[in-house]
Structure 1
Amino acid sequence: MLLELIKYADNNLIKMFSRICLILLFIFTTGLYAQQSGTLYGTISSFDGTNVTLPIEGAVITITSGSKFEYSSESEENGSYVINNIAPGTYKIRVEMGGYKPAEKSGVAIAANDSLKLNFYLSGDSYTTDEIDIISERFKQAQNDMRTSLMNLSPRTSKTLPGAGEDVLRSLQSLPGVTAPNDYSSQLVVRGSGPDQNLIIMDDVEIFNPYRLYGAFSMFNPETLSEINLITGGFPSRYGDRLSAVLDVTNKEGNRSRNITG
């Protein structure tokens, strides 16, 4: 019994001694690594050619050795940056920020237990492009067209207008004085009148219900239309007794010279 107790105590002492050795080894190696590394710090500021202006936040600082990437950091709100635990050696430091010309310094030596201060000053970068021509086609109403308050929307615009979903009625909601009852409806509210006070015709035929999916989309396909006209007031008597507006949609003419066989 006594021998078993002695053996048990010896095992516990061995385990405790092993744990103490591991802890001491960890502390020693950590301190040794910290003593064998350096630190790079400084500030990143803008430079207008005459004097330093404002600190730059978010500039990317990269440290490379030859073609190998080593360390990276970003500047703070006040333009400062700190990169710790850098192995001793000679590096190339590069600073990049959108809208500024990159700056770099080669042959920067960082020694063990050394804190090297390195400030960078970035100058603004200008971008030049070739000449850009913006061409607009203005809608011209025919002389014999007596309709007033006429607004024309090309089918191509209906397809490319952001947020319209290639829907004709939703595209018309971007015009002045035209809106929708809510965000989920394609119905038209023109100058405060209700959707039921609008007249919608396609190829001179009145469309009583041009809405689909409970009013979320319209039945008109921009690919098949040649003209979209919205008359918001003063429309001729041939359109009837509607109080608000008239939407006149015209389809493309088919090709009569080609026959489809199958």
Structure 2
Amino acid sequence: ATLMFDTEYQQIHQSESDVFITLKSGEPIIAKLLVAADGANSAIRKQFNMALSFKDYDHHALVATVKTKEPHANTARQVFLPTGPLAFLPLSDANTHSIVWSTSPNHCDELLAMDDTTFNKAVMAAIDGQCGLCEVQSKRAAFPLKMRYAQQWVSGKVVLMGDAAHTIHPLAGLGMNLGLKDAAYLIELLTSDSKEFASTRTLRDYERTRKLDAQKHIAMMQGLKELFEGANPVKKLIRGVGLSLVDNLGLIKHLFAKEAIGK
């Protein structure tokens, strides 16, 4: 196998059995399969006219690196606020987190406009001081959240994977796991196909199976988003009872954990 980093392609063409790639350097590559894992705005998906469905979540995600007084103990934390969830994700340094704050576009603009001191106070208040004083360590960035779902995942010997095939709301942190499950299932199929590498049947099996899983997660994220946003007292009661049941019923909790880690 040959790994090539920081290498751009110039052209992609395919025949019935091969994919022909010309790199920017002019070097030609012939392959039996091209896996397009080039992100939510996949240029390869667009080139091969693979149709896309999408929905605006009406949320923006603000991301930043934050240092806290208390160590994270390798624990991810998430709070559900009326405007959307705030996640604290542990990094390698014991007191440093990557935060993802999903909120309304107007609130996101307010957070971006704050000076560092005001923003630090807002973050600490939002997470109810669980990690002590907060100090932002990076520039803040924000981007709109959209559900994307490719209606077609296979075009000849070109297949979509990860964000190129699907993006979901980050409130449960399952987007990356979905992409890893795409990769794992495709590898399983390719290694078990002894007659022909990347046969049409194999690629259609990949498309059919992974599309069903993506559809399930898209529907689940939409339901969770609607359940956890706002301050409706009925929603709050359902959330509280539901989470308490999950926390206290070991079997259900185990099933949720397995789903979250992609098993």
> What TM-score, normalized by structure 2, do the two folds share?
0.19
Structure of larger gyration radius: 1
More strand by share: 1
| Larger RCO (CA within 8 A; separation ≥ 6) | 2
From the two aligned structures, give the one with the greater helix fraction. 2
Q: Output the TM-score relative to the length of structure 1.
A: 0.19
